[in-house]
Chains A and B, each alone.
Chain A
Amino acid sequence: MGLRGARDQIVTPLRVLSIGIILSIVLAAVAFISLSMGPAKVSMGTILGWCAGMGSVDQTTSMILANIRLPRILLAGLVGFTLSLGGVVFQALLRNPLAEPFILGISSGAAIGAIAGIVLGLGFSVGVPLLSFISALATILLVLGISSRHGGLESSTLLLTGVIVNAFFTAVIMFFIATASDSRLHSMLFWLYGDLSQSKYIQFSLCLPLVLIVSGVIYLFSRHLNLIVGGEEPALQMGVEVELVKWVAFIGISLITGVVVAFSGIIGFVGLIVPHLMRMMLGPDHRLLIPASALGGAVFLVAADTVARMIISPSELPVGVITAFLGAPFFIYLLKRKGSQWNQD
């Protein structure tokens, strides 16, 4: 655990910056390796040359790199970044180690829209993502609406509402699946387990500004989150406008989660384990934990997606299968070694 450093020092901008740079370098390295991998092998030298705009790269290779692999890596990185950011923020706001960005029902809400889109025979470039995004947002507004009382959002009510809404929508999804034709079933299942094979630049550039704005706002609340994990009442006593932070964060995170899920399908596990891994390695301070989780999520998902498209090449697995398959054993190993870092009493 080289990143851990001395836990007794407080988090400074320098420390955040240096960990941010280290993780960005790791992300770049993983992205390069991912670019080189695929049915058509491309050497690292060729890729470096291609990136620098030099060297002789034949047109087919250039086409594969630019139009197939790169947009997919970019989107995978952004989706991992967003889900992991959502996870760390939801764990803090709900003070629950099981929290992840889908816990309030956004995944099943998005799934209803996407599956309805597939049933209606809409395309994967506009129709399905649009329906998915709209139904995700409608779901989160429904959950927040049901849970809010006198303008306040109470954690356990929110969690329970999310779980119930999830259960209800899952039943609707199962109905669609049971009555779907075989040709559409495959698309539905891939969407439900997360699929990045439809990635395009336009999706990345649509999501990027939104994700950057929301992450920026959330980062300004990182100290607020440090206090809120110690309980809402003590946070109020120390001057945190707790309800404001909760509303802004729940809506902001749901918005960006809804957008990326519309393009990627439901990729589980990233938003749950990456924040825990980072907390085990770097400590509980959200000023460091938020950027580290977001970047770590990007690294994890780019790597997992590379495995997903390589492992049974030329065929592919949904990336959600890989995140759980690789993530779970690694996570259990760390949990045994270091404990969850959560103290619940």
Chain B
Amino acid sequence: MEPGLTLKSISFSYGNHWSLDGISFGLTKGELVGMIGPNGSGKSTLLRIMDGLVRTDTGEVLLMNRPISSYRRHEVARQIAMVPQESIFRFNFSVLEVVLMGRFAHRGLFPFEEKKDLEIARESMRRTGTLDLERRSIHELSGGEKQRVLIARALTQKAQFILLDEPTSQLDIRHKVEIFELISSLVRGQGFGVMVVSHDISLAAQYCNRMLLLNKGRMYRIGSPDEVVTTDTIREVYQCPVLVDKNPITQTPRVTVLSRRPENNKDIAVQPLRHKGTEE
């Protein structure tokens, strides 16, 4: 299938010490792609570039074969929805009001919602299990609930592509799994094209069709979870001793983090890792 959202040899530099370079790939409808990489490797910036929020130095982002820079913001919002890492709500909007904000790009000048908008919002809330939170204030919600509400808002946008920036970083294991289950059911059921940035490598490997490993602004590897998540790649990129084996149930790569002190890793033969220091 033709990718709907394509990056062609993107480069972008931020100040003098930091850059993204040579990024090319496409996000297709119906696939879930996980983006992983150490802190500061450029994941969030790449996500913002994909949404047309950052102008690149070279290369271009094509949305349905047209440069994303040629779209107006509301036109982009009808195709791409973004779920931020965390959202600040200064005022106590109700959950329903927050979800309805996703209809913005579909409304004309008349500033009020119609019945159809409410139906779409409620349908998104039903799919994300937030319908019974409808009347609650956004401030009263737990981290997991808030994240599901933000996903409901993205669904209400009726876009084909959804980009999520570390949606599980604040959540406990149960809620992490719930979010991944939700995302992957949306991809399978509704055919969205989804890109998710995550630090939960094993979990992402369990659910994603493809993975992209970013290292210092470059594409270190892209491919199936088996190809991308290996002991060598993760060690090299994260500069951290790990062991990658297979999850016995799902047969997907599983990352075990080891201690930097070899004597603590009693039963596992691990070569000591050359310490390169952490990057900025």
Contact = CB atoms under 8 A, between A and B. Distances in A.
Interface of A: 7-8, 10-13, 95, 219-220, 222-224, 226-227, 229-231, 233-234, 236-242, 279, 283-285, 287, 341-345
25 contacts: A13-B112, A222-B111, A223-B107, A224-B104, A230-B88, A230-B101, A233-B53, A236-B73, A237-B81, A237-B82, A238-B77, A238-B102, A239-B74, A240-B73, A240-B74, A240-B104, A241-B72, A283-B91, A284-B91, A285-B93, A287-B111, A342-B90, A343-B88, A343-B91, A345-B88
B51 A237 contact: yes
Closest 10 A-B residue pairs measured CB to CB?
A239-B77, A284-B91, A239-B105, A239-B74, A8-B135, A237-B82, A223-B111, A238-B104, A239-B73, A343-B90
B88 A231 contact: yes
Interface string B67-99: 000001111111001101001111111101100
A106 B151 CA distance: 42
Nearest to B107: A223
A340 to B, nearest CB: 10
Contacts of B111: 219-220, 222-223, 287
A10 B72 contact: no
B105 A238 contact: yes
Nearest to B98: A230
B97 A239 contact: no
Interface string B209-220: 000000000000
Given A95-B90, A237-B82, A220 B73 contact: no
B272 to A, nearest CB: 42
B73 A241 contact: yes
Size category of the binding interface on chain B:
35 or more
B269 interface: no
B195 interface: no
Interface string B44-79: 000000010100000000000000000011111110
B157 interface: yes
A223 B106 CA distance: 12
B113 interface: yes
B100 interface: yes
B268 interface: no
Given A7-B94, A284-B93, A341-B92, A238 B157 contact: yes
Interface of B: 51, 53, 72-78, 81-82, 84, 87-94, 96-97, 100-102, 104-105, 107, 109, 111-113, 118, 134-135, 139, 157
A10 B139 contact: no
The A interface is mostly helix, strand or loop, or mixed, namely: loop
Contacts of A231: 87-88
Contacts of B75: 239
Nearest to A233: B53
Contact of B104 (A12, A229, A239): A239
Contacts of B51: 237
A341 B93 CA distance: 10
A237, A279, A287 — which one has the most chain B CB atoms within 10 A of its CB?
A237
Contacts of A238: 77, 101-102, 104-105, 157
A10 B84 CA distance: 24
A292 to B, nearest CB: 15
B152 to A, nearest CB: 13
B91 A342 contact: yes
Given A231-B87, A231-B88, A12 B94 contact: no
Contacts of B91: 229, 279, 283-284, 341-343
A12 B112 contact: yes
Contact of A230 (B72, B89, B100): B89
B96 A10 contact: yes
Nearest to B94: A8
A302 to B, nearest CB: 28
Contacts of A285: 93, 97
B89 A227 contact: no
